[in-house]
Amino acid sequence: MLCLSAGNLHAACAGEGFMGASSGDPVMSMVDITFSPLYSSSTTSGTSGCQNWDFALHLQKEREKFVRIRHQQLLEQSSAGDGPLLEAWSMLMACPREVQPRFNDLMRNHFPESEEVLNSPERMSTYPNRVLGWIRQDPVLSHACQNDDLS
């Protein structure tokens, strides 16, 4: 389970599915991160008892699923440089709330590239890594967002 607490990522293992969603419904697995006012109620420092746990792989798959399901809304909010889905995307990209305005600007500045990739089903799965690249090139976000060990 990926928990977001005060804008920080934490790994946890609970339930049958990632994000604690065991229904298998891909839309409902996004509800916790995109619409919940309280992003986390628990954290853990390890994954004791979790079988076949690979946090980086699960996080990457969750990012890809988020993009696949919400790409149109993500594009709309990226063009405006603001919105609740953009906030959720920032947190999923391991950026704390303190840098949300900077992340929003980054997404707005890269909107033409985002539009090109997200409008191509064949290239859509590469989008999270592109965003990570943009984060790494930004002098503020590269230090604030915790992606060094996740991709």
Distance CA 96, CA 99 (A): 6
pLDDT digits over 76-100, tens only? 999 999 999 999 999 999 999 999 9
- DSSP assignment letter at 38: S
User: What is the predicted pLDDT for the residue at 57?
Assistant: 84
pLDDT digits over 89-131, tens only? 999 999 999 999 999 999 999 999 999 999 999 999 999 999 9
Would you list the DSSP string of 8-43? EEEE---SSSGGG--S--TTHHHHHHHT-SS--S--
Does the global pTM surpass 0.85? Answer: no
Boundaries of every domain in the chain: 2-43+55-144
- Tell me the two tokens of residue 73: 């809304």
- Tell me the two tokens of residue 17: 């599915």
pLDDT digits over 61-71, tens only? 999 999 999 99
> Roughly what angle, to the nearest 10 degrees, separates helices 111-118 and 55-80?
120
- Amino acid identity of residue 11, one-letter, is A
pLDDT digits over 16-72, tens only? 344 444 344 444 444 444 444 333 333 344 445 555 567 778 888 999 999 999 999
Q: How far is CA 48 from CA 10, 12, 13, 52, 76, in A?
A: 14, 9, 8, 11, 40
Proportion of the chain in helix, strand, coil states, percent, rounded to 5: 55, 5, 40
User: What is the predicted pLDDT for the residue at 50?
Assistant: 59
User: What is the predicted pLDDT for the residue at 58?
Assistant: 86
